[in-house]
Amino acid sequence: MKPKIEDVAKLAGVSPTTVSRVLNNRGYISEATKNKVQKAMTELNYFPNDVARSLFNKRSNLIGLILPTTANPFFGELTFHIENICASLGYKVLLCNSLNQVDKEEKYLEMLLRNQVDGIIVGTHNRGILDYHKQGLAVVAIDRYLSETIPVVSSDNYEGGKIATELLIENNCDCIVLLDGIGELETPARLRRQAYIDLMEQQGKAPFIYEIAEVFEQDSYIHIINSIFTDHPEVDGVFATNDLFASAFWNEAKKRGKHTKVVGYDGTQTVRTLLPELTTIRQPVKGLAEAAIDILIKEIEEEFTDFPLETRLPVQLIKGTTA
């Protein structure tokens, strides 16, 4: 039979209330008493009931994290940093991979609410579909616009798009193609596309934009890339708005014996390890995690309400041999 708080109290020679106060760090407790309670817990192999403690403290110490997929190196690395930082602050993370599907996101939100999470970090696309604030939750978005009142943390997407396009122009590329996701999605990442368009028009060059709709299907990458080579055999520069697109294009170009310059975006450790030659715009992934958690914790603690609705962190050009 599992030991109970009364068993700990009896062994430690204190009251159950004192054990509860030690567990919840409430009120003054002498070090000697704390040590006796801790020793009794160890001897009995007693573990506190987190559910009961959350009811007592009116906090679950749980953070919900809804992302498209951790199979993407950017979201995988982001998850690592978020979980690591949350753990250091005494929070556990409930991870949800939505695959950008509305029904999955709705079910995950319901699950998180049932588990009484203290807050949610969101990196999915479904703006306006879920009214997160209606639930009275602390919410922060990463690189996504969810509503007019939910703060967003992102890299400086416009500057990153500008740096990438300028580099290709400086490399004397004449036919520069943008390889992007669906353009109708309203996210800070769309500024990468806008920077490309602005720079191309300033140079008097025609912008060519190709969209990959099925971002989780590798075959769809190849289909679109083949279309680029068919429509523009003269293509000599590509700015891909994430490193997976860039890697797919670079590999296909090598198969065809093409020497197209390629610049990606994200700069995760995974891609840089597997494709060190890729020139890319590196996002400060750890910084994004830190900023999002900092805002979320302040929302949870109700420390302030006058926080910026948009936080942009600087990016860095990582030079490889692809551009």
Model pLDDT for residues 278-315, shown as the tens digit of each residue? 999 999 999 999 999 999 998 888 766 667 789 999 99
| Closest CA relative to residue 97, chosen from 131, 66, 128 | 66
Encode pLDDT of 69-126 as tens digits.
Answer: 888 899 999 999 999 999 998 899 999 988 877 788 888 888 888 888 889 999 876 6
CATH topology of domain 157-284: Rossmann fold (3.40.50)
Domain with CATH 1.10.260.40 in the chain: 5-57
CATH number assigned to the domain with residue range 62-154+285-312, chosen from the 4 options 3.40.50.150, 3.40.220.10, 3.40.50.2300, 3.40.50.620:
3.40.50.2300
Helix (H) or strand (E) holding 50: helix 50-57
Instruction: Name the percent of the chain lying above pLDDT 90.
Output: 53
Rounded to whole angstroms, what are the CA distances from 207 to 67, 77, 237, 241, 305? 31, 32, 11, 14, 41
CATH superfamily of 5-57: lambda repressor-like DNA-binding domains (1.10.260.40)
Token representation of residue 103: 């029904």
**pLDDT for the residue numbered 191:** 95
Tokens 């009116």 correspond to: 58
pLDDT of 132 reads 52
pTM of structure = 0.80
CA distances from 26 to 61, 87, 91 (A): 17, 21, 19
Residues 155 and 192: their CA atoms lie apart, in Å, by: 10
CATH 3.40.50.2300 domain range(s) in the chain:
62-154+285-312, 157-284
Q: According to the model, what pLDDT value does residue 168 have?
A: 97
Q: pLDDT tens digits, the chain, 323 residues: what are they?
A: 777 888 888 888 888 888 777 776 666 788 888 888 888 888 877 776 655 555 455 667 899 999 988 888 999 999 999 999 999 988 999 999 888 777 888 888 888 888 888 899 998 766 555 555 555 688 999 998 887 788 999 999 999 999 999 999 999 999 999 999 887 667 898 999 999 999 999 999 999 999 998 777 777 888 999 999 999 999 999 999 999 999 999 999 999 999 999 999 999 999 999 999 999 999 999 999 999 999 999 888 876 666 778 999 999 999 999 99
